[in-house]
Amino acid sequence: MSQLRAPTRLYHNPRCSKSRGALELLRERGIEPEVIAYLETPPDAIELRELLGLLGVGAGELLRSGEDEYKQLGLDDASLDEDALIAAMAAHPRLIERPVFVHGGRAVIGRPPERVLELL
C-alpha cells in the first residue's frame, strides 16, 4: 500500500516565497490541497521514492544544492547513488526542493510557481 497521502497535496515551506505563491495560485483556482509542512513532518525514504516516481526525476534533481547540508554532507559526489541521496533528504528535509505539487497521479516541482498549473 502506498505511503503517500491525499491525492492532491503540496509539500510546502511557508517561509519560501515560491511555495507561498504556488499555494496561492492553487487556491485562486479553487484547489485546496493537503498542505504538508515537510520541514515539520518530513517524508521518509519510501515516500520520497514515490514522489520521485511521480515527478519522473532522479534524486539529484530534487536536491537543493545551495543548502549548507548539501556541502557539509558532500552530496556533490558523483559516486553517490540514489539510496544515499534519498537517505540524505529523509534525514535533512531542508535539502528537498520546494514546493512539490501532487495531483492526478503526477507531480511537479513548483519552480516557478506557475508550474503547478500544469497538473490542473
Instruction: Please report, in angstroms and rounded to a whole number, the separation of the first and last CA atoms in the chain.
Output: 25
The continuous run of DSSP H or E covering 48 comes out as: helix 45-55
Q: Let me know if 72 is a catalytic residue.
A: no
Measured between alpha carbons, how far is 56 from 37 in angstroms, rounded to an integer?
Answer: 22
Check 4, 8, 9, 16 and give the catalytic one.
Answer: 16
Which residues are tagged catalytic? 16
